Chains A and B, each alone.
Chain A
Amino acid sequence: MNEYLSNGRLWRLCQKELRESLRDRRTLFTLILMPILVYPLLSMALQRLVIGSVSKAKAEAVFVLGVADEETANNFLQLIEEAQRLKSEGFVSPITTIRTQDPKPMDNAKSSSEQAESSESAGDEIAKFDIVQPQKESLESALQNGTVDLIITKLTIESVKLERGSVPRHDIQAEFRQNDFRSEGALSGLRRITQFLNDFQSDRIRTRIDRKLPVAMTLKAKGLVQPADLSNSIAGVIPLVLILMTITGAVYPAIDLTAGERERGTMEALIASPAPRFALLLSKYVAVVTVAVLTALANLFATWMTLSFGGLGQALLGKSGFSIWTLFQILPLLIIFAAFFSAILLALCSFARSFKEAQAYLIPVMLLSLGPGLVTLMPNVQFTTLLGIVPLLNILMLSRDIMLGQSSLVPAFAAVFSTIIYACATLVVASRLFGAEAATSGSQESWSELFGRPKKRQLLPDIGELAIFLAMLFPVFFVASNLGGMFALKGSWALFFNALILFVLFLILPLIYCCYRRVNIPTTFRLSAGIGAGEQLFKRAGRWVGYLVGVTLLSASLWMVAFEAYLLFESWSFASQLTDADKERLERLKADFLAVPFWIVLLTAAVSPAIAEEFFFRGFVLSAFRSKLSDFRSVLFSSCLFGLFHVIAGSVLSIEKFLPTIILGLAIGFVAVRTGSLWPGILLHALHNGLVFSMSRYTEQDLAKWFGEDTRHIPIAWLCGGGLVMVVGAAVLFFSSQRKRIHEDPI
């Protein structure tokens, strides 16, 4: 295996696939020509849509106008009636006519064609308003919710003295929703009415026909910036188009490099070679992802050009438009998406025997992927935490929110993390499917071999199995960690609930999975005591004592490292971003927590997580990595996963936990590998958690007494002592254990 995964060879395998893809004119066509063709067309269509809907709103709609009281309503109604009366009497606003330079007289405009309607002359119609007075909500919220299109916040009438007598003057203050066609249409309708009446008045002054001047008006309008509204749906179009184009770029290479091998008659030679299927598939995957990313880049650039220089960006996305910064935020998302979707495409195409078959498989998937796309187009669909784990939808929603400049951290993290896990799992499935058909003749047989129960027992799960299991576990874990918050559990109930979830997810599910896949449980989870049964009683007892002492010493010093790592992370301004409300909530949580009896805390937050998490992270995960990788890498990777899973805690992202958890993971990983047993690690984990939670029972004043008045940090003397204790603990463990690799053990 290693002679193939050595960098040079794998890279040469990738080179072949890249050459094959990038020299193919069909790939280049979708890569270069499509963006050049699609975006100008799309921009024209969008521009028509935007303009079309604005003029439609102007011409046909009856707008809903919100007012605060009856007086305002009556005054406004009078204005409208005045305008309508003047209109029916045939008054033509001279100023408006001159300004728009409409060659047609007003009377003809009504009977004229559509073209006239969509031009400015449609604006000469008196807009129709329904006047409502919201009962259940305030004017502003009615505007915000879209129940009214426009609100009048103030309408005052005062007398203005002229040479001969006085005239009333109306001052109107209105508010509208920015970037909402309907609301902006209502505003321009109102503006035209005031304009019309002002024109009429100035006309009268000029011609002095009538000295009883009816109205003079001012209109002040305030725009309300809408975070989630129609602009959402338009902003959703752009990621959808980008993602569809990225898919389009990846489809052809994916088919060509898999089903194409069969059609060319090179597949048999390929799988008859000793090169591992995973290496073959990985090189194809690299090529497909590269083409997909290149397509994404080309499309992103074309979108940016179109939006920035076509002037459409500001219309769709607000003032800042589609900035370079947005571009750099969207790009990594597109890359992650390309990585995910390329794996799906490869998995599907690997099973196909021909181009045609591959296309037949892909069409339903493409259609299915349109579904989430349509969801993002719906206005007012918020990117919630739980949507963060829905594949495809999460990336679409996240990029939409980034374009609107309103992304939030937790769903973003969930989206990125889950998509990466899904991509890995899909890639594993793809590598199992790849070439399977060429080896066996009956397709049903190969399906059941891939996903059914294997016939042979395995000593350890492999990394592929881990990827598939993680892809199933992570969504469940994510939903479950949000459940506690949903039920609004408090105090000891919340703790018990968490412990239950940990047990189900990290202990019971891996055990069921191992049973189903015939993975040997004692070797996978290191259930043996790590003490040779054949040894003398004296020696065995010595090992037991050594483990106990080593683990106790380690746990007595590890909490200091965790504590300092936590402070370090906190100083990186993560905690300072907390709002007052957050701080208050945390204080409340802490108070709840302190009210819980300490033995319950120990049971639910120290002992049970220790058992459940050790079974999973130092059992299943570590064993899976060790089936292929060196001990050091296995411990490192399993600790990283351990850390990542701790970052997600309910609906908040506890980034500050990442570093301390990784350190703990490394320490326990060392213990697990060294002793060959899970149990010392469980003890260490439980002791560590117990110590940390006992610390949290003390107030900051108590800590200050110990550590010195003005610092939260642990005193240097303590740290030095801790370091010494840790070294001694590690040494005791090291010398009291015998090193051996688990899968060399006979079952």
Chain B
Amino acid sequence: MISAENLTKQFNVRGVPLIAVNNLSFRVMSGEVYGLLGPNGAGKTTTLRMIMGLLEPDSGFVEISGLRSTNRSNDIRKKLGLISTNDGVYPWLTVREMLLYFADLYAVEPDVANVRLEELANLLDIRGFVDQRCSTLSTGQKQRVTLARGLMHDPPVMLLDEPTRGLDVVGSQAIFRFIDLLKQRGKVVLLSTHRLDEAERVCDRFGLLHRGNLQFEGTLDELRQATGKQHLVDMFIAFMNAPNKQTAASIGPNELSNEA
């Protein structure tokens, strides 16, 4: 379970204080896919980084399966898998070498890692090129290797940071199947995206993030009831146009983005 409590993070961008994430709280349960949605610069990546323990929140905390991220950062990292947009592969390593390397990074014992590698190779259909160098792979093959990489240490919690950005229809389909797989296995899945149409398809619950504030949270039905709109896109446009005195003044466009 992920539980974020009152997360706040402020950056100084050229001397100007900027609230990236403001008093953010949410929970994600096992077997649930939670969509953290928002436009570029809403604070999605900052939130994910705080969950991973790469950034220390100014106030508030994150708990992963009962462990606080600030105290036991390394224990928490072992429970987390991360797959993000820009993930790459090592061109000079074979697929097997790369996956075993990441198993070592997560302190997985070698014999366990070998068994898991076989399992993932079947599951994600990478058996055919597991001993090829990554530089020889096609884009789709690389993407599947990346997904396998995220699962080598069998984390109970999976963070997906805009996993479909830059992918074509086939690539996106692979991601959706992957998310289904994670769900079947009872993982906690946190998906951050600005593709609202995709989120509607795969997520069980949503948190709409805008300028560091969580504007709405709930299932699609709950959101429809609350906003009176049918689709996420319409809901988003509605609340983005609504003035929000709390934070609007302090934020510049795209300043928070680390994705570029």
Q: Name the distance in Å between B187's Cβ and chain A's nearest Cβ.
A: 16
Among A16, A23, A270, A276, chain B packs the most CB atoms within 10 A around the CB of A16
Question: Which stretch, A261-269, A344-352, A362-370, A691-699, touches the partner chain B?
Answer: A261-269
Q: Name the distance in Å between B202's Cβ and chain A's nearest Cβ.
A: 22
| A23-B92, A264-B91, A439-B49 known; A270 vs B86 contact (CB < 8 Å) | no
| A268-B84, A440-B55 known; A274 vs B91 contact (CB < 8 Å) | no
Specify the main secondary structure of chain A where it touches its partner. Answer: helix
B86 touches A265 (CB 8 A): yes
A264 touches B93 (CB 8 A): no
Give the complex CA separation of A165 and B71 in angstroms: 111
B54 touches A271 (CB 8 A): yes
Q: Name the distance in Å between B17's Cβ and chain A's nearest Cβ.
A: 11
Give the complex CA separation of A13 and B107 in angstroms: 11
Q: How many residues of A contact B (CB 8 A)?
A: 29
B78 touches A274 (CB 8 A): yes
B11 touches A441 (CB 8 A): yes
B101 within 8 A of A: yes
Specify the main secondary structure of chain B where it touches its partner. Answer: mixed
A3 within 8 A of B: yes
Give the complex CA separation of A23 and B49 in angstroms: 33
| A4-B107, A273-B106 known; A19 vs B80 contact (CB < 8 Å) | no
| A272-B77, A272-B80 known; A266 vs B89 contact (CB < 8 Å) | yes
A69 within 8 A of B: no
Give the complex CA separation of A253 and B100 in angstroms: 22
- How many A-B Cβ pairs are below 8 Å? 82
Q: Which residues of B, 74-101, contact A by the 8 Å Cβ criterion?
A: 74-75, 77-78, 80, 82, 84, 86-93, 97, 100-101
B194 within 8 A of A: no
| A272-B80, A439-B54, A442-B11 known; A20 vs B102 contact (CB < 8 Å) | no
B249 within 8 A of A: no
B107 touches A20 (CB 8 A): no
| A16-B93, A23-B92, A441-B258 known; A269 vs B102 contact (CB < 8 Å) | yes
B149 within 8 A of A: yes
**Chain A residues with CB below 8 A from B232, complex form:** none
A41 within 8 A of B: no
Chain A: which residue is nearest B101 at the CB level? Answer: A16
Q: Name the distance in Å between A56's Cβ and chain B's nearest Cβ.
A: 51
Q: Which of B77, B92, B100 makes the CB contact (< 8 A) with A20?
A: B92
Q: Which residues of A, 273-296, contact B by the 8 Å Cβ criterion?
A: 273-276, 280
A13 touches B77 (CB 8 A): no
Give the complex CA separation of A82 and B148 in angstroms: 94
B107 touches A3 (CB 8 A): yes
**Chain B residues with CB below 8 A from A24, complex form:** 92
**Chain A residues with CB below 8 A from B90, complex form:** 16, 20, 264, 266
Q: Can you list 25 A-B pairs with a CB-CB distance of less than 8 A?
A: A12-B104, A13-B101, A13-B104, A13-B105, A16-B97, A20-B90, A265-B87, A266-B89, A268-B84, A269-B87, A269-B150, A272-B52, A272-B77, A272-B82, A273-B105, A274-B73, A274-B74, A274-B75, A274-B106, A275-B104, A275-B107, A438-B54, A439-B54, A439-B55, A441-B258
* A264-B88, A265-B87, A266-B87 known, 5 other contacts, Cβ within 8 Å: A16-B93, A19-B97, A20-B93, A269-B84, A442-B13
